[in-house]
């Protein structure tokens, strides 16, 4: 009898104890270098602390210095999820088997972003033709807003070989760096995410006065949290719930205020259709795309 009771007790412990007590005591989330990595870490640490508290699991952050690193490091560092930009979201879904769960809602209520191509007003550059022999600053090959849209724009204007067309092209690594590179005249043309561009010019009207947007893309989904499919369902569901309702409680409101966003909105694969349309137009096959 004693033996049976002991067995039943053991089974009960396995059935009724929180799943994470046995399997997961820590979740590692990657952050892409949308802006300066120090700024990014500052913004997201409040969210990590909040999720840790609510989940009862330690949520740790890791900064990825390059967009392209996300894919490689996701496996190497055994990440459980990451905040991906649209291009890396799709790459990650294809190569890493992650699923999108929620994306940012910006302070203006939008949950989409665009890509801008911009120049200094005094550069005299107005069209793709004027760009010949100039210097262009991209963000990263593994971004839509910081590369792919610009490449498509150039192709639409008959420019297929950027190595020959431009005097120089380089990758700044973050969107704000691309904006400052053009403002400082370290590049003649830049491409960056609309949200970062708008934030910079809102903060500094002189930058707004001196730069001009010469082309903008259609809308794409904002930064999306994608997590690995094989995370326990309870954890995935809880994370999703916490994010979608973060703006409904005081502590959550404080977190999103520090992150400079309005909240999160549910996201699925269908939200990435604009990306697939652009990739098709650019002749890109995600399975074989060289993002490094």
What are the residues binding other proteins (CB under 8 A)? 36-39, 122, 135, 167-168, 176-177, 180, 183-186, 204-207, 210
CA distance 77 to 62: 9
Give me the least distance between CB of 173 and other proteins, in Å please. Answer: 8
Q: How far is the CB of 185 from other proteins (least distance, A)?
A: 5
What six digits make up the tokens of 244? 């979608």
Which C-beta is closer to other proteins: that of 36 or that of 52?
A: 36
Q: How far is the CB of 108 from other proteins (least distance, A)?
A: 23
Nearer to other proteins, 133 or 268 (CB): 133
Considering the complex, what minimum distance in angstroms separates the CB of residue 131 from other proteins? Answer: 14
> Considering beta carbons, is residue 44 or 103 the nearer one to other proteins?
44
**Residue 126 or residue 281: which is nearer to other proteins going by CB?**
126
Q: How far is the CB of 66 from other proteins (least distance, A)?
A: 13
User: CB 202 → other proteins: shortest distance, Å?
Assistant: 14
Helices first, then strands: H and E counts in the chain: 12, 13
**Closest Cα to residue 273, out of 104, 114, 86?**
86
Q: Are strands 98-105 and 224-228 parallel, antiparallel or unpaired?
A: antiparallel
Q: What is the crossing angle of helices 67-76 and 86-96, to 10°?
A: 30
Nearer to other proteins, 178 or 284 (CB): 178
Minimum separation from the CB atom of position 140 to other proteins (A) = 15
With 0-12 CB in 10 A as exposed, 13-18 as middle and 19+ as buried, what is 49? middle
Q: What's the token pair of residue 149?
A: 């849209």
Distance of alpha carbon 149 from alpha carbon 279, whole angstroms: 9
Contacts of 80 (CB under 8 A, 6+ apart): 27, 28, 29, 227, 228, 231
- Name the residue nearer to other proteins (CB basis): 101 or 211: 211
Q: How many CA atoms lie within 13 A of 158 on its CB side?
A: 6
Tokens, residue 128:
């793709």
Token code pair at residue 115? 């890509």
**Is 106:136 a contact under the CB 8 Å cutoff?**
no
Which CB, 209 or 254, lies closer to other proteins?
209
């Amino acid at each position: 009898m004693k033996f049976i009771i002991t067995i039943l007790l053991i089974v009960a412990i396995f059935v009724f104890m929180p799943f994470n007590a046995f399997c997961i005591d820590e979740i590692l989330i990657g952050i892409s270098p949308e802006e300066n990595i120090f700024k990014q870490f500052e913004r997201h640490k409040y969210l990590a602390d909040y999720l840790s508290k609510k989940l009862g699991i330690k949520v740790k952050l890791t900064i990825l210095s390059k967009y392209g690193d996300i894919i490689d490091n996701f496996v190497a560092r055994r990440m459980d999820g990451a905040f991906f930009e649209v291009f890396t979201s799709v790459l990650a879904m294809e190569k890493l088997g992650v699923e999108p769960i929620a994306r940012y809602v910006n302070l203006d209520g939008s949950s989409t972003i665009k890509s801008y191509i911009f120049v200094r007003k005094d550069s005299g550059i107005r069209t793709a033709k004027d760009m010949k022999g100039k210097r262009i600053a991209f963000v990263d090959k593994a971004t839509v807003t910081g590369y792919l849209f610009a490449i498509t724009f150039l192709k639409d204007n008959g420019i297929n070989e950027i190595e020959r067309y431009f005097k120089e092209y380089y990758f700044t690594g973050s969107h704000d760096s691309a904006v400052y590179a053009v403002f400082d005249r370290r590049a003649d043309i830049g491409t960056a995410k609309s949200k970062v561009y708008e934030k910079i010019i809102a903060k500094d009207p002189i930058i707004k006065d001196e730069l001009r947007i010469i082309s903008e893309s259609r809308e794409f989904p904002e930064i999306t949290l994608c997590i690995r499919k094989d995370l326990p369902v309870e954890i995935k569901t809880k994370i999703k719930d916490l994010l979608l309702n973060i703006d409904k409680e005081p502590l959550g409101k404080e977190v999103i205020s520090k992150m400079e966003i309005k909240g999160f909105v549910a996201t699925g694969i269908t939200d990435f259709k604009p990306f697939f349309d652009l990739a098709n137009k650019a002749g890109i096959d995600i399975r074989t795309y060289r993002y490094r």
